[in-house]
Amino acid sequence: MASENKLIQKCREGNQKYMKLLYDKYSAKMFGVCLRYFSSVEQAQDALQDGFIKVFTKLKTYEGKGSFEGWIRRIMVTTSLNIIRKDYKHYFHEDISEFDEKISDNVFNYDHLHVEELLKLVQQLPHGYRTVFNLYEIEGYSHKEIAEMLEVSENTSKSQLLKARHHLRKQLERM
């Protein structure tokens, strides 16, 4: 396998063989990233495809700072968010003031769950909940950053996260 720097350079030159190598190297992991934002495999595949188109068109802008995989991951998240923002904006309409239900911090043992089961539960969340949950809990963005990315208020981001946690907790209690 080619070194990462060689892979990047050859892709920048438009070498199809190396573009396929880059895709093969990162597509499975990036598909997992996209899949967390969508309820269907088809939607995640569309985001993955759009994301890799952006990776290849923006590759000349990669400056070698930070991890290359992290750079690709950010493109996949941004691409997924753009699709969500375009198609599902109406799912982010509630403000935290509309959500009075308290969420208890009961401790549960989830060691028996497999990653696939957890991913399936996250995928079943409503669009707004799932998006904010992924951005906050998995990607590590702040509510302020999420609000800017999704063009919603910080309170809406907080509300969606609370609702996502509540929904997941109910699902896990049933299991």
CATH for the 93-174 domain, from 1.10.510.10, 3.40.50.620, 3.40.50.1820, 1.10.10.10: 1.10.10.10
Distance CA 93, CA 90 (A): 6
Distance CA 164, CA 1 (A): 41
Evaluate whether 76 touches 47 at the Cβ level (below 8 Å). Answer: yes
| pLDDT tens per residue, range 11-63 | 999 999 999 999 999 999 999 999 999 888 999 999 999 999 999 999 999 99
113 pLDDT more than 60: no
Select from 139, 141, 175 the least CA-distant residue to 158: 141
| pLDDT tens per residue, range 62-85 | 998 889 999 999 999 999 988 888
Give mean pLDDT, residues 87-100. 49
Cα 120 from chain centre: 14
* Domain extents in the chain: 4-90, 93-174
Tell me which amino acid residue 109 is.
N
| pLDDT tens per residue, range 123-159 | 888 888 999 999 998 889 999 999 998 888 999 999 9
Distance CA 52, CA 80 (A): 12
Evaluate whether 86 touches 92 at the Cβ level (below 8 Å). Answer: no
Tell me which amino acid residue 16 is.
Q
Looking at residue 164, its pLDDT comes to 92
Q: Cα dist. 26→1, 120, 134 in Å?
A: 13, 22, 20
Q: Which residue would you say has higher pLDDT here, 120 or 14?
A: 14
Q: Give pTM, 2 decimals.
A: 0.68
Does domain 4-90 fall under CATH 1.10.1740.10? My reply is: yes
